[in-house]
Amino acid sequence: MSTVLVKTYAPPPFCEREILRYAGCKGTDETLSALLQACLDEVKDKLVYKVCYIELPVRITDGLCDFSAFSVRSKHLAKNLRGTERAIVFAATVGVEIDRLIAKYGRLAPSKALLMQAIGAERIEALCDAFCADMEGETRGRLKPRFSAGYGDLPLEAQREIIALLDCAKKIGVCLNESLLMSPSKSVTAFVGIDDNGGTVYEANGRKCAACDKNDCDFRREI
């Protein structure tokens, strides 16, 4: 595969536990549950679930990851992709409406803005999980945990190559500003290695955290 493809997904099931984790809530009560439900009711019909992606060959040489179309130097990405000869490069977004709701409630109701931020984080992660599970079936390989610019020693500048290669602005409406931040904000770019020799099957719900050595992350799942 050498062309950029686009997938649009139905909304993945919401996980309220994950939303509360992203919001930093250790527990819940009736008031918080009611507020969360109100936020979910408001946001559920306003999101899109879009991914654009390409499959590329990958060659690893002393920390240089060569994808033919471009290359990046990162020992951590090289370790993540070890043993693979091909990889998926993708971008995903849930759209701009969640940003508008976050901005709106940042002025009117900070508690709702916090929950909207958390919903956006849970939604983009759920979309990426759905895409990776989908691609594992299509590629007939085992997928490595996805790896994004900003993880470990992979510089944020890698975003420029990904956004340009995938033509994200045209394909799914994702742009990159001068500070290397994406708009809409609830968007993700990532590399995913395809292990054709057998490996750990792609799993959501914590397996990415199990593969990560950043033990002090505030958003680390219990594993």
Residue 204: CB partners within 8 Å, gap ≥ 6? Answer: 129, 132, 133
What is the structure's pLDDT at 109? 97
Quick check: 115 and 212 in contact, CB under 8 A?
Answer: no
* Domain boundaries of the chain, sorted by first residue: 5-210
- Select 5-210's CATH number: 3.30.420.40, 3.40.109.40, 2.60.40.1180, 3.10.450.50: 3.40.109.40
Give the model confidence (pLDDT) of 50-86 as tens digits: 999 999 999 999 999 999 999 999 999 999 999 999 9
Give the model confidence (pLDDT) of 194-219 as tens digits: 998 765 444 544 455 555 555 545 54
Neighbours of 105 (CB within 10 A): 19
pTM of the model: 0.88
Give the model confidence (pLDDT) of 22-54 as tens digits: 999 988 899 999 999 999 999 999 999 999 999
Quick check: 89 and 53 in contact, CB under 8 A?
Answer: yes
Quick check: 184 and 94 in contact, CB under 8 A?
Answer: yes
* Integer angstrom CA distances of residue 151 from 3, 12, 13: 26, 25, 27
Neighbours of 143 (CB within 10 A): 22
In this structure, which amino acid lies at residue 112?
A: K
Rounded CA separation 150/33 (Å): 33
What is the structure's pLDDT at 205? 42
Tally of CA atoms within 13 A in the half-sphere of 76 that contains its CB? 16
